Amino acid sequence: MAEKTRYSDEELEEFREIINEKLRLARRDFNSMMEQLRNTDGNGIEDTSPTYKALEEGSASQSKEEIAQMANRQQKFIQGLEAALVRVENKTYGIDRMTGELIPKERLRVVPHATLSVASKNARKK
């Protein structure tokens, strides 16, 4: 029996659904982070004491930096998922870019934007 070189159209459709759902959630989370950065929730601290306000502003600044970093990671995740959808369309989804072999379904279900198998990823780290 010949070794499988790509996933079937049915399997690709299953992955498309997984990717689209993760994409929907990732975009929702990204938009939520961006709203926090824009500070549109209106929880002002104008009526509090100056000392508390200074502490709160320092904390808010650090928190905004953390949210900005999380938003940046989320944006990269979204881009990875969008690229995975392109690979589904091109029927090249799930193929390890180092070995050309299929990435196991279990990995793709957990990390749908993966372009390397666990073995290839570990080999690359060495």
pLDDT single digits (tens) 55-79: 555 566 678 889 999 999 999 999 9
Domain ranges for the chain: 9-90
User: Taking the CB of residue 84, how many other CB atoms lie within 10 A of it?
Assistant: 24
pLDDT digits (tens, 9 = 90+) for 80-104: 999 999 999 999 999 999 999 999 9
